[in-house]
Amino acid sequence: MPTKTKSTRRLRELVHEPRIIRMLGAHDMLGAVLIEQAGFESVFIGGFGTSASMLGLPDINFMGLKEMVKATRRMAQRVSVPVLADADTGHGDLHIVQRCVAEFELAGAAGVILEDQVQPKRCGHFAGKQVILPRRCCSSGKLRLPRAQTRTSCSSPAPMRARPTA
């Protein structure tokens, strides 16, 4: 069974277990390896730490989809635990969200997190962010479209979750 499928399946198993998932965030491969060696079940790659590590800058849109996908790919290829990736708001409208999810799946992410902010997004740690109301986010199809239409060569699509910022 390909590693991607095993990773996705393992994340699904963790999500469905009636307990807290032990996961730490890593901003680079060394951090991910240390997290795995410490016995954590999965690792999260977030935009804030990755932007700070790679660019020395805060998470205010200096890193785009391509940079986060590349960082996720490097991490997913190095560790055997599931990697959950920060997909920001999906980087655009519904069709770009579809492409975004597919790119992370192909990079080896076991799952993605989509945020509920309007564009341009701001890091959830900073003031001035504006969020999309849950009703509007779900009714707009932003959460349904990627799952319904994104199909990559992976036999087990990555779980997708929305992360409320408010």
CATH number assigned to the domain comprising residue 88: 3.20.20.60
Q: Tens digits of per-residue pLDDT, 31-75?
A: 999 999 999 999 999 988 999 999 998 877 788 899 999 999 999
Share of the chain above pLDDT 70, in %: 66
pLDDT at res. 154: 45
Q: Tens digits of per-residue pLDDT, 91-100?
A: 877 888 899 9
Who contacts 35 (Cβ-Cβ below 8 Å, separation ≥6)? 24, 26, 43, 79, 81
Q: Tens digits of per-residue pLDDT, 88-125?
A: 878 877 888 899 999 999 999 999 988 766 666 656 66
* Contact present, 32 and 43 (Cβ < 8 Å): yes
Q: Tens digits of per-residue pLDDT, 128-165?
A: 666 666 655 554 555 554 444 444 444 455 555 544 45
CA distances 4 to 31, 104, 142, 156, 165, Å, are 20, 11, 24, 8, 28
| Residue 137 appears among annotated catalytic residues | no
Catalytic residue among 123, 137, 138, 154: 123
CA 107 to the chain's CA centroid: 11
The count of domains in the chain is 1
Which of 4 and 68 is assigned the larger pLDDT? 68
CA distance 50 to 72: 10
pLDDT at res. 96: 87
* Contact present, 76 and 83 (Cβ < 8 Å): yes
Range of the domain at 38: 3-163
Residues paired with 45 in a beta bridge = 26, 85
